[in-house]
Structure formats: C-alpha cells, structure tokens
Amino acid sequence: MRTVLRDISGRAESEEERGREIGGEISPLQDQLFLLETLMDNVPDSIYFKDRQSRFTRINRHAAARYGIASPELAVDRTDADFFTEEHAAQALRDEQEIIRTGQPLVNLEEKETLADGSVRWVSTTKLPLHDRAGNIVGTFGISRDITERKRIEEQLQRMAFYDALTDLPNRALFFDRVQHLFQRARRPLDNSMFAVLYLDLDGFKAINDSLGHQAGDELLVGTARRLERCLRPADTLARIGGDEFTLLVDEIGCEADATGVAARIHEELVAPIKVRGHEVFASVSVGIALSSAGFENPDDMLREADAAMYRAKTAGRAIGRSKAHPSTGA
Ligand SMILES: Nc1nc2c(ncn2[C@@H]2O[C@H](COP(=O)(O)OP(=O)(O)O)[C@@H](O)[C@H]2O)c(=O)[nH]1
Ligand SMILES: [Mg+2]
C-alpha cells in the first residue's frame, strides 16, 4: 500500500520525512487529508465539489487541466458557465438542482462536454448529493471519466456495421432497417402513404473491371454513388447493397409516375461520362421498381420483386422495369 501511494503521489520523500503512518491504526486528521489529496490529485478522472448554488468549492488537478486553469484553487467560487458552453452549464445546473431537491444521485450520465474554447470530449459522469455530518445536503459532488476514445470506437463500429466502406453509402443492413420502418408505419391505421424501392445494377460493369482493372471499377462505383446521390430528396435512402448493385428507398410518393420519374432522373444524371483513371467511362444502370401499394408482406419480398423487375429490364434491354406485382404496371 505504501509503495503504491509513493509511486503515484510523487510525494514519498516528504511523507517519509514527516514519518507519517499512512494506513496505520491511528491516523491523525492531517494524514486523512493527505490521503484524500493524494487520491484527488492522482485519479485520472475529474472530481469536483459544489455548493448548493453550483459554485465550485473544490476540484482536483485533472479537472483543472480539463477546464484549462493552472491550478485547482482557481476554480473556487466559479461555476460551469466559466468553463463550458452556456447550454452545457445550464444542463449541469438543472441536474444539480434536481439532485439537491431529490437527494438522489445521477449515475453514469454520458454527456458531450464542450468547453468554451470549442474542444469536445465525451464523459461519463456520476453526480451525487453532498451531505454534511448532520445529514443536510450542502451541495453536490461528481466524478467524470473521459470516454472520448470509447465513443470514437463505438461510432467506428457503428459505421462499419451499417455503411459501405468504399462509397460511404448505407449498406444492405441499414437499407433493410429503413424499409422495415416504412413497413411498420404502413401497418398503422389510416396510413395512406406510398413508398417505392428502386433496384439498380450497373450495366457492363464486369467489362470495366476486366479492361481497366479493379481499381478503376472501384472508382466507377464511387463516381456512380455520387451521381446517384444527386437524385435524392432528404428523406430518401440510397444504399450500396452488393458489388455493382444500389438500392434507393423513395418515401412519400403520390403515384407510380413519381417513382418512374426518379428512375428517369437517375438515367439523366448518368448521361455524362464519369472520369476514371484518366478514362471517360459511360455508366448506365438498369432499374427495377417495386411500389408499396402492391401489398408486399415484408421488406424481403419487396426487394426481391424490385430485383426481379430490374433483371427483366436488363434482359429486355429496357431502362426501367416495373414491379409485376403492381396491378397497374403489369410486365
Ligand atoms: N471493382 C469492383 N468490382 C466489384 C466489386 N464488387 C463486385 N465487383 C464485380 O462486379 C461485377 C458485377 O457483376 P455483374 O453485375 O453480374 O456484371 P455486369 O453485368 O457486367 O455489370 C462482378 O464482376 C464482380 O467481380 C467491388 O467492390 N469493386
Ligand atoms: Mg452489373
């Protein structure tokens, strides 16, 4: 225990000189304070104490460094508003007033801390009521652990799970999720909204790969993705769901012509060649459309039908294939 304290405190010499009995049976008040200070100043978390008006009465060294002040003493009598954005300070004040009112702690709050200088960190904070020896609540205290790195990795995992690394578009899983949401909405009574799934496959993509190389193929996929994005409205979802296959979820369409209109816009966007490794490549896609009004059971069925319609369009040499299942479009 002594060794550990010495290692982390860096005050071993003075401790030895004064002959303190850290951890001994009888520990004078001074030693208790010394222990507390050692703990406060060496934990890699921010610790603070505040009075009932949310003014700092004490913070530790880690917190001082985080708040951008030279020493912990400089925080005394100041408030969060002196160090954080107005919004953050207001939220902290609300939290602390609630703790004082209820006597209940707030445990592991995950919050995005923005300092006045604009720097952002994620922290996990536990805030508790501070009692005096008579049991009265005299303020609050809290401990904040920096979880920025964990958050960064979580976000990265989220991206890897739901986005395509090459084009940065949503992937199959996210696309299905979005379609699923619209199916759920459609089950609600009085919902008359219609949506469409467009299934796109690049024509002759294999030949690009074979003649210009795989990297050129990749660039064409990215270039096509950027062109397709121009055909979207904010609520739409464009995804890359396979090699040279893209899908588009178009919500809130009034009639079938709205969906074929989007397909026509896609063809227009792809009229101009895409520059790939110094070559001008003409990309074209075959498009299949499935409309929610055809009454599909689930997203799987709807996608399969859009895919089949695309395939029919491709084999027939037509630009746009419509869902057979839709009574008004036929095949
Ligand atoms: N460059 C590249 N090619 C891919 C990728 N994923 C799949 N492919 C290729 O894309 C082609 C797609 O096949 P298909 O649509 O049947 O060929 P198409 O009829 O010539 O367009 C296949 O040759 C795959 O090897 C990728 O990420 N990058
Ligand atoms: Mg293809």
**Cα 184 from Cα 316, distance rounded (Å):** 34
- pLDDT tens string 102-128: 999 999 999 999 887 888 999 999 999
- Is residue 46 within 8 Å of 56, Cβ to Cβ? no
For 280-301, write each residue's pLDDT tens digit. Answer: 999 999 999 999 999 999 999 9
Number of domains making up the chain: 2
Kindly state if the Cβ of 303 falls inside 6 Å of ligand 1. Answer: no
Q: Is residue 178 located within the same domain as residue 315?
A: yes
Does residue 24 sit within a domain? no
Residues 131 and 201 in one domain: no
Mean predicted confidence (pLDDT) in 269-282: 93
Counting atoms of ligand 1 from 1, which one is nearest the CA of 314? Answer: 19
Question: 202 CB under 6 A from ligand 1?
Answer: yes
Q: Is 307 a catalytic residue?
A: no
- Which ranges of 103-144 would DSSP assign to H, the alpha helix? none
253: domain CATH number is: 3.30.70.270
Residue 27 located in a structural domain: no
My answer on whether 190 and 284 are in the same domain is yes
CB of 307 closer than 6 A to ligand 1? Answer: no
Do 126 and 175 sit in the same domain of this protein?
no
Model pLDDT, residue 192: 83
Q: What mean pLDDT comes out for the span 81-87?
A: 93
62 within some domain: yes
- Any domain includes 329: no
Mutating to test ligand 1, I would choose from 169, 172, 202, 206 the residue with most ligand atoms within 8 A of its C-beta, which is: 206
Segment 80-87 shows an average pLDDT of: 93
Q: What is the pLDDT of residue 321?
A: 64
pLDDT at 189: 85
pLDDT of residue 23 exceeding 70, the answer is no
Single residue among 129, 151, 173 that ends a domain in this structure: 151
User: Confidence band (pLDDT; 50, 70, 90) for 191?
Assistant: confident
pLDDT at 4 over 70: no
User: Considering 45, 80, 164, 244, which one is annotated as catalytic?
Assistant: 244
Reported as half-sphere exposure (CB side, CA atoms, 13 A), residue 97 has a value of 7
pLDDT of residue 324: 45
54 pLDDT tier (thresholds 50, 70, 90): very high
User: Same domain, yes or no, for 231 and 258?
Assistant: yes
User: Which among 151, 185, 200 is the end of a domain?
Assistant: 151
Ligand 1 atom, smallest distance to 220 CA: 1
Q: Which atom of ligand 1 is nearest to the CA of 214?
A: 1
pLDDT value for 63: 96
Amino acid at 220: L
**One domain, residues 182 and 122:** no
- Residue 323: the pLDDT is 53
Q: Are residues 144 and 220 in the same domain?
A: no
Share of the chain above pLDDT 90, in %: 79
pLDDT, tens digit, 9 for 90 and up, residues 136-185: 999 999 999 999 999 999 999 999 999 999 999 999 999 999 999 999 99
Percent of the chain with pLDDT over 70: 88
Domain CATH number, residue 131: 3.30.450.20
How far apart are alpha carbons 240 and 163 in whole angstroms? Answer: 9
Query: Hey, what are 43's tokens?
Result: 């934990």
How far away, in angstroms, is 267 Cα from ligand 2 center?
A: 15
* CB 277 near ligand 1, within 6 Å: no
Domain boundary among 151, 173, 195: 151
pTM for the predicted model, two decimal places? 0.73
Tokens found for residue 288:
């299949």
The answer to the question of residue 180 being in a domain is yes
Identify the pLDDT of residue 322.
Answer: 60
User: Which H or E run contains 182?
Assistant: helix 172-187
Give residue 71's pLDDT band: very low, low, confident or very high (50, 70, 90). very high
pLDDT digits (tens, 9 = 90+) for 237-257: 999 999 999 999 999 999 999
Q: Ligand 2 mean position to 307 CA, how many Å?
A: 12
| Cα–ligand 1 centroid distance for 214 (angstroms) | 9
- Whether 13 has a pLDDT exceeding 50, the answer reads no
pLDDT at residue number 26: 56
Domain, as residue range, for 289 = 163-322
| Average of per-residue pLDDT values in the chain | 89
- The answer, yes or no, to whether any atom of ligand 1 lies below 6 A from the CB of 185, is no
224 and 126, same structural domain?
Answer: no
Q: What pLDDT shows up at residue 190?
A: 82
Q: Which atom of ligand 1 is nearest to the CA of 218?
A: 1
Same domain, 217 and 105: no
Per residue in 193-227, pLDDT (tens digit) is 899 999 999 999 999 999 999 999 999 999 999 99
Same domain flag for 125 and 178: no
Judgement on whether residues 291 and 199 belong to the same structural domain of the protein: yes
